[in-house]
Structure 1
Amino acid sequence: MQTIKVMIVDDSAVVRQVLSASLGEDAGIEVIATAPDPIFALEKMQKTWPDVIVLDVEMPRMDGVTFLKKIMSTRPTPVIICSTLTERGSETAMQVLAAGAFAIVTKPTTALRQFLLESAGELIHAIRAAAKANLKRLGPARPLAPLGPGPAKLSADVMLAPADHSQAMAQTTENIVAIGTSTGGTQALEVVLTALPRVCPGLVIVQHMPEKFTAAFAQRLNSLCQIEVKEAAHGDRVMAGRALIAPGGKHMMLRRNGAQYAVDVVEGPPVSRHCPSVDVLFRSAARFAGRNAVGIIMTGMGDDGAKGLKEMHDAGAWTVGQDEDSCVVYGMPKEAVKLGAVDRVLALKNIPEAILGRISRKG
């Protein structure tokens, strides 16, 4: 098996030393170089280009965001941000995501050595996923999802009973679109949502993100889109021309009020190792919307959403999976296809048109 070549760029000698030692214990990873700042890193990269870069933000001579943009505009390479600044507020985090960071690991300001040692497994997992990322398909400046949680795997049963379809109307003028995505999803969602006109069905979306990220992400999309995009609040109505994004750290479930739909935003354990979980959202869509829904599963690691999409499919919803070529990580759609949950496989650029075409045919 070919080893993954990693470069560590951080002005802290402690970070470079501890990460080099921790990553070096994995037989599939080779730390080919370390650098105290991006200028030194660029010099070393002329000799050997890494498969994955672990990058700090605050450094001398050139900051990490500038370096990240430079990399993505010249030779797109998976970059994992490892910084204390991403915890101070969402602005820096959103900057690196918008610049194309693959994942974010927030370093604490104290007990750094111990944290790095304890987080080695998570970082190795991120590096392995990053090395498989299909970055070349999306061009420069791809915002991607931060690291997801990794607890025990629970099913959607802990949040909601399986759909019996008794609560889904046979037909209603209120149609909804449920979307689930993870790694690579922030850019994929931007492609889809910015292409939708003001007159479009209401959307409910789970993008794997931790707390404090989703609000800033929704605000950014809202500034770019014709439709309204907001972080969902408990009781928000799902309406035409609006996209509701599940808050990080909470589950979002669709419910029906008469012929209308709203969302419940609730606390709960991770489902399919994620909170929010796509499986939870999709199950609720199967239960309460049935054939009045469109389910879309897009780029992401793992299998969250695959079972839920199958439930939507079985309830009569029209279901779509993003194709492999346009996915950054072809994990979630692949698992959904395996289950027979997908009616149509589409390239990312064709998904907005498909949403509008399907809803207009139903109307």
Structure 2
Amino acid sequence: MTERVKVMIVDDSATVRQVLSTLLSAEPDLEVIGTAADPLFALEKMNRNWPDVIVLDVEMPRMDGITFMKKLMAEHPTPVVICSSLTEKGAQTTIQALAAGAMDVITKPHVGLRDFLTTAAKEVAGAVRAAAKAKMKRLTPMPVVQPKYSADAVLSAVPDQAMHQTTEKIVAIGTSTGGTQALEILLTCLPRTAPGLVVVQHMPERFTTAFAQRLDGLCEIEVREAAQGDRVIQGRALIAPGGHHLALRRNGAQYQVNVLDGPPVSRHRPSVDVLFRSAARSAGRNAMGIIMTGMGDDGARGLKEMHDAGAASIAQDEATCVVYGMPKEAVKLGAVERSLPLHEIAGAILAFGNGRH
């Protein structure tokens, strides 16, 4: 029998601690080794028996979750799953926690909490298992039971012929687990002369607004959450809004975006496959596709479509990925021209924008 995953639950709500402890303890491969009302109590217990995964609230007494996250990552890196209320204020705080290294986020409501946690038990358990496998660096896709749609559910397949090359260049980026940190590193390296970027980061609805605002305050380029009809222009990055797909389209000499409804594709909304397919269809060889750290295979088929349409294609290499899932699948499909460490991707984007490939 494999060793069970040891879990510590840190939340100032007694209800959350009790319900999560009961639900996770019912899973045969998980063991709740302790609960605590705040990080200081948690550290006392953890120093006696260190967990494999911490389920962490953000707003707590004595020490907030972000401060605790920074302390953990500096002194004893440990996979963390954030369990936070979904409010605008909370979203901004949670984005900061993700940037500090949280592996996943489970959103909880202000009311009906007990029922929500019971309903979301499998989601929470799955997030804990995934975080445990990552060990802050490696993670394999975990089985899920939801229907898995392809990009056909949102966009028709790419036409047979790619567009003729033009001077207008765009870069499409897809990422998931570990992507909040990776995107911060990448986008803060880009000058305003960088080609326009369209980005899918797997993230819950309403979190993407705070994420884009945070990046915009850090970057020289403009970063904002995409809205219907936004232009993709030099020095601007558009982040797909949570809960919606993002697609590129060409309007005369300009590139714009469509924000689309539709079912989850590759089990995600927004989906990297949808973005990459639209880039293949609308930009062809005028585009570069970049697939970065993330669990699963979303974006692999879409990047292959971009590659086949003449686009440049790059994968983040295994050594610098938090999770070498999505890039690995793209490489296996033959969709990737080059695998690069994270710190070299900005240079590749700028070279592409200047006509060097």
- Report the TM range for the smaller structure's normalisation: over 0.9
Aligned twin of 2:79? 78
| C-alpha displacement of 1:70 | 1.6
Of the structure 1 ranges 155-164 and 350-359, higher mean CA displacement relative to structure 2 is found in 350-359
Normalised TM-score (structure 1):
0.91
| C-alpha displacement of 1:100 | 2.7
Aligned twin of 2:22? 21
State how far apart, in whole Å, the 2-side matches of 1:79 and 1:314 are. 38
Give the 3-state SS of the residue equivalent to 2:171 in structure 1. strand
Give the 3-state SS of the residue equivalent to 1:238 in structure 2. coil
Give the 3-state SS of the residue equivalent to 2:321 in structure 1. coil
Whether 1:222 and 2:213 are equivalent positions in the alignment is no
| C-alpha displacement of 1:110 | 2.6
- The 5-angstrom pairing of residues 23-42 of structure 1 reads 23-42=24-43
- The 5-angstrom pairing of residues 41-60 of structure 1 reads 41-60=42-61
Aligned twin of 1:270? 264
Q: 2:191 aligns with which of 194, 197, 200?
A: 197
Give the 3-state SS of the residue equivalent to 1:269 in structure 2. coil
**Alpha carbons of 1:313 and 1:216: their partners in 2 closer, same or farther (altered >3 Å)?**
same
- The 5-angstrom pairing of residues 50-199 of structure 1 reads 50-84=51-85, 86=87, 89-133=90-134, 135=136, 151-166=146-161, 168-199=162-193
Aligned twin of 2:286? 292
| C-alpha displacement of 1:213 | 1.2
**Alpha carbons of 1:111 and 1:233: their partners in 2 closer, same or farther (altered >3 Å)?**
closer
Alignment-mate amino acid for residue 72 of structure 1: M
Contact kept, 8 Å, 2:10 with 2:36, in 1: the verdict is: yes
Deviations 1:252-293 (A, max 9, x none): 111112232111112221111111110000001111111111
Aligned twin of 2:338? 344
Mind listing any 5+ residue stretches in structure 1 that lack a counterpart? 138-148
State how far apart, in whole Å, the 2-side matches of 1:298 and 1:134 are. 18
State how far apart, in whole Å, the 1-side matches of 2:269 and 2:145 are. 10
**Alpha carbons of 1:34 and 1:220: their partners in 2 closer, same or farther (altered >3 Å)?**
same
State how far apart, in whole Å, the 1-side matches of 2:188 and 2:170 are. 17
Give the 3-state SS of the residue equivalent to 1:325 in structure 2. helix
Give the 3-state SS of the residue equivalent to 2:9 in structure 1. strand
Contact kept, 8 Å, 2:19 with 2:117, in 1: the verdict is: yes
State how far apart, in whole Å, the 1-side matches of 2:137 and 2:245 are. 32
Aligned twin of 1:142? none
Of the structure 1 ranges 56-65 and 298-307, higher mean CA displacement relative to structure 2 is found in 56-65
| C-alpha displacement of 1:339 | 0.8
Contact kept, 8 Å, 2:163 with 2:284, in 1: the verdict is: yes
Alignment-mate amino acid for residue 171 of structure 1: Q
State how far apart, in whole Å, the 2-side matches of 1:185 and 1:220 are. 14
Alignment-mate amino acid for residue 159 of structure 2: D
RMSD between aligned alpha carbons? 2.0
Give the 3-state SS of the residue equivalent to 2:318 in structure 1. coil
Alignment-mate amino acid for residue 52 of structure 1: V
Give the 3-state SS of the residue equivalent to 2:319 in structure 1. coil
Of the structure 1 ranges 7-16 and 199-208, higher mean CA displacement relative to structure 2 is found in 7-16
| C-alpha displacement of 1:304 | 0.6
Contact kept, 8 Å, 2:173 with 2:289, in 1: the verdict is: yes
Contact kept, 8 Å, 1:181 with 1:299, in 2: the verdict is: yes
Mind listing any 5+ residue stretches in structure 2 that lack a counterpart? 139-143
Percent identity at matched positions?
A: 68
Query: How many residue pairs are counted as aligned between the two chains?
Result: 351
| C-alpha displacement of 1:98 | 3.1
Contact kept, 8 Å, 1:151 with 1:270, in 2: the verdict is: no
Q: 1:250 aligns with which of 199, 223, 244?
A: 244
Aligned twin of 1:360? 354
Deviations 1:176-235 (A, max 9, x none): 111000111111111111111111111111111121111111111111111111111111
Of the structure 1 ranges 311-320 and 11-20, higher mean CA displacement relative to structure 2 is found in 11-20
Contact kept, 8 Å, 1:286 with 1:317, in 2: the verdict is: yes
